[in-house]
Structure 1
Amino acid sequence: MSNSKQAEATGEGAVPSLQHHHTPVSVTHHDHPDHHLMWCPRHNHYYDDRKMETFEEVPDPTELSPLRDFIAGSCAGVSSTVVGHPFDTVKVRLQMNCPSAPFKGPMDCVMQTVQKEGFWGLYKGMVSPMTTVPLVNAVVFSAYEHAKAFLLTRRLNDTSGVLTNHEAMMAGAWAGFVNSIVVTPVELVKCHLQAQGEAIHTSKNEIKFNGTLDCVKKVIQIDGVRGLWRGHVATMVREVPSYVGQFGTYELLQRVFSAQLDGDNGKVSPATTLLAGGFAGCVCWTVSYPQDVIKSRLQLQPLGQPSSYATSTFCPDGGFIACAKSIVRQEGWRGLWRGYSPCLLRAFPSNAAGFATYEMVKSVFFFDKDGVSMPVQAKAKAGQ
């Protein structure tokens, strides 16, 4: 079969014999008036070799690198945890709202904790998130990057690598759902450790934990392995909207701030990342904070005892609806926002540090894993 007939049989412009290659291939297209075409199968596009003066290594936004995402996500989690954990401890202790936690407000909680437990009392329970943060953040960012790549590959003739607002929100929802499965045991252990200390007058009958491993061991002994996932529904209801808000806001503000601060150089500055990440964190916690209060109440119930909140007859919510009703009935709607101030104070610096670290580390590992040079048109020389 001749070359022209083979081209007709496979469809206009198709080059099936070259689809397994990853490098641009020069193609003599006898049926086309322009004989200076180069076919790039990976990007499904023809390039005019007369308009290309150089080949530049340009990363493909749809390329995935699990190692890159794991390392970048882990580093981001470490930095955000170190910055934000003291605020998180105050938040959890205010959320308890019981006689054993007699705090008048965030500052009173900080003062009592430091006076009775020292400065490091604010970092109580940090071992749990710090030992599991590589996995948790790797799950979040990997799930987000996979969803992002999936959405980008569905586009035609668009290699910008920039998500629209609704695409970023969809990718964030998927990341939140996946992460809720992993983060529930981490949150449960962290909350139990944060909720005990000299500043909190626990009763003699309450179980004491001597650290992360001891807490995990006692939870499994008393409630079984499933006990580690107490409050999973509440965690999922928190995680999905939180990451919808976080990643949607981050992608949007990154474009807005970059246009104002970075000009037309095509690069995002650290200042842009810090601002976009900080405000994204504030939105993230604002849209999910009531769910977080409910989650903490459900997870801090005494071990070995039946749940105080009945599961809904309409869906297996783990007592989420009953707990929400109980809080509103006893404390009013403000009860769902208890501890919001320290949470918001934590959100900006913690998420700013996390996103800045993630982008910085990711840029180091942002290479084309196949070593493919994507043909791009060279910039015009000065004076031309």
Structure 2
Amino acid sequence: MNRTLWPIFSTYVSSPGLAHGLTHMTAASLGEIAACTIRVPTEVIKQRVQASKYHSSLAALQSVLSNHTGEGVFRGLYRGYSTTIMREIPFTMIQFPLYEALKRWTARRAGRKSATAAEGAVCGSIAGGAAAASTTPLDVLKTRIMLSEKRVSVRHLVREIVRDEGFQAFFRGVGPRTMWISAGGAVFLGVYEAAKNLLTGVVA
């Protein structure tokens, strides 16, 4: 969803006096905050089912709505919201500015004004992979908070992980996370560039 909102926000926050990088960082952050209002509740339900805590998404949702933990329905559905934002904003502030910078560099080297769809896919894959790898520790924290039986602070969780598992635990799953986000970035941003180039040609 953030990838859908990013081009919209980038149009509104862009300014002739605003650096390209700052424009894309701001747009990506605004898009992420908006997207997380929908993404977080679905992530909470999905991860509880994946962790075999419930046999279905409906059962997980009913458990949250019944408020059996006493934390409140809203807090139950949005558990890990702040941690998700803490992960996603750095992710998008790395991915989209890096993607745009790689695109401009690629097009400039080829003597063109814009990148091709294939170049966009490669740039998207590199940018997505870099963002995914560097934010893996935040993803680990977000996942554990969402799956926790009770509310736990980020500070407490960090101390617990370092004490019991060591710093390497913060990069658990970095390989698969980097690979699937790289693939997703290549597909989405490659298609995005193809559609943009096609529509620009039609409008022009």
TM-score by length of 1: 0.47
Paired residues, number: 200
* RMSD (Å), alpha carbons: 2.6
* Structure 1 stretches lacking a partner, 5+ long: 1-136, 157-161, 197-206, 310-318, 374-384
Q: Deviations over 1:232-253 (max 9, x none)?
A: 1110100110000010111011
Match of 1:292 among 139, 162, 167: 139
Q: 1:299 to 1:265 in 2, by over 3 A?
A: same
Contact 1:233 1:320 in 2 (8 A): no
Indicate whether 1:219 and 2:64 are aligned: yes
The structure with higher relative contact order (CA 8 Å, sep 6+) is 1
Question: Distance between the aligned counterparts of 2:19 and 2:100, measured in 1?
Answer: 7
Q: Which amino acid aligns with 1:191?
A: Q
Deviations 1:195-248 (A, max 9, x none): 23xxxxxxxxxx4222x3332222222352431111111101001100000101
Contact 1:176 1:242 in 2 (8 A): no
Q: After TM superposition, give the deviation of residue 335 of structure 1 in Å.
A: 1.1
The residue number in structure 1 matching 2:25 is 169
The structure with the largest alpha-carbon Rg is: 1
1:184 paired residue number: 40
1:228 to 71, 77, 82: 77
The one-character-per-residue Cα deviations of 1:106-163 (angstroms, maximum 9, x if unpaired) are xxxxxxxxxxxxxxxxxxxxxxxxxxxxxxx1x5432x224322333x327xxxxx96
Preserved contact between residue 163 and residue 251 of structure 1 (Cα < 8 Å): no
Identify which of 10, 16, 26 aligns with 1:155: 16
Q: Deviations over 1:16-42 (max 9, x none)?
A: xxxxxxxxxxxxxxxxxxxxxxxxxxx
Shift in Å, 1:273:
0.7
**Higher helix fraction (1 or 2):** 2
Runs (4+) off by over 6 Å: none
**Residues 1-384 of structure 1 mapped to structure 2, 5 A cutoff:** 137=1, 139-142=2-5, 144-152=6-14, 154-155=15-16, 164-196=20-52, 207-210=53-56, 212-221=57-66, 222=68, 224-260=73-109, 263-302=110-149, 306-307=150-151, 309=152, 319-363=153-197
In structure 2, distance between residues paired with 1:332 and 1:176: 30
Show the counterpart of 1:108. none
- Give the whole-Å Cα distance in 2 for the aligned partners of 1:296 and 1:252: 31
Rate the CA distance shift 1:217–1:366 in 2: closer, same or farther, 3 A. farther
- 2: CA distance, partners of 1:350 / 1:256: 22
